[in-house]
Structure 1
Amino acid sequence: MTRKASLANHYTSDELKQKYLKSKEIIESRRWHLLWKISEGWTIKESAIAVGINYDYAKEIVKKYNDLGEPGVQHIKSKHMRGKKALLTQEQLENLGKELESKLSKGETLSGPQVARWIEKETGIKNVWNQRGWDYIKKAELLMANS
């Protein structure tokens, strides 16, 4: 039997869920999602797979949360993106938002992998990770909500 992780009593399971659902920052949202799953009795490994992160990284998140509480979950943005530029320009991101709205109006949705393929087609970049598709869905939704 797999041992369940224990979380410090900084937040209840319901509070972790709300933090996950209300987080507007993608990295923090994924971290809260992981912690919420663990609080529901999932193992770290199961939770890491469910939210799409590496097991060792998940263990690190749990440790930081247990040691520091909310500050351990917060994503500290660097001034530098390590030389990497965004996959989509602002215009392409707006086009993705329009595509998502169009699908929603027809009662359809786009998945992370579908958006990753859309990004490949739109940009000519090969082998965009499926997770990046999900990240850009969240960015486009945030853009649509703020416009």
Structure 2
Amino acid sequence: MKTELTSEELHERYRSTTDAVERTHWHILWLMTEGHTPNEIATMLGYTARWIRTVVGRYNYGGEAAIRDQRLTLPGAPCLLTVEQQKELDQALDQPPADGGLWSGPKVAAWMAERLGREVDPRRGWDYLQRLGRSTRVPRPQHARERRSDTASF
């Protein structure tokens, strides 16, 4: 392993970091400088020796920046609807749906499927209802006894 950091500096970084993934990577590097083999480290930390070698290789190639949690830099999936389509959906939600009743996740997903020309999971319809600050507003049902007690006079 190639590093200009001493074993004590690696140990300090391992102990001071707050990110769990980064902490594990610093721990691996510290144990390597202490003379442990990848197989020993894998046994101690519950990883495979191959992963230990991968972390060390990343550090050798990219330095400290390669130790950080790389998942945080992933862009994620693009939105299903463009900004214009979201505005169109927001306007459509002001009107009752084609079959009457109230808008729901499956109904929004069907609306989206028409615009996108492909199937849309009903859960994505609910996601867009939430994203636009909408929800189905239905009065909560009352128990039959509660309704009678409201109208009964004692």
Q: Taking CA–CA contacts closer than 8 Å with sequence separation of 6 or more, which of the two structures ends up with the larger relative contact order?
A: 1
Highest Rg: 1 or 2? Answer: 2
Question: Structure 1 length normalisation: TM-score?
Answer: 0.47
